[in-house]
Structure 1
């Protein structure tokens, strides 16, 4: 588990909306609430921890981007996000 956590940690990056947009177009972006640790979410998804992930979904702490968010990000394409790729998803948190 530590190896996976370390690999995920190394994969985290800060990128702007332009780099994320193609992933949003293929419906692969997951927005992670700012109160959650992005690395913990990535780890739970990578390990298929269904109970934890389902709780976050139910509590709307991880969601698909809303139409309003997508519209806002398309207007401000330099918006920065902390990102983590956990195939096939791209987890994002606004910075």
Structure 2
């Protein structure tokens, strides 16, 4: 996995992402997919992987109904920025804790 993406991964609530949704730069990644792999494919402009992910529904633009559901349920997301896009993936704290452990390992290696 791209260590740069891992270091920059964040955990956000919807209110932090609303502006990206309004600017039409927000993409959601299905929970069963590897958000880091898709983010890296976007960063590398790997059109074959990106087109396949869009066609299969692995990555999609959320609609207003989905956004309202997320707001009402106070969902939290793994968030990756691959300029100019923002990728989000619904995630619980236990799974995000695993990402934090991997982030700590990467940062430790850099010291």
* TM-score normalised to structure 1 length: 0.89
1:7-42 superposed Cα distances (whole Å, 9 cap, x missing partner):
111111111111011111101110001111111111
Segments of 5+ residues of structure 2 without an aligned counterpart are 92-111
Over aligned residue pairs, what C-alpha RMSD do you find? 1.3
- Residue 87 (structure 1) aligns with: 83
Aligned with residue 34 of structure 1, among 31, 34, 38: 31
Segments of 5+ residues of structure 1 without an aligned counterpart are none
- Residue 53 (structure 2) aligns with: 56
Q: Which runs of 4+ in 1 moved over 4 A?
A: none
**Alignment partner of 1:6 is 2:3:** yes
Aligned with residue 17 of structure 1, among 14, 19, 29: 14
- Alpha-carbon separation, structure 2, partners of 1:11 and 1:41: 15
- Alpha-carbon separation, structure 1, partners of 2:30 and 2:72: 21
Aligned residues: 91
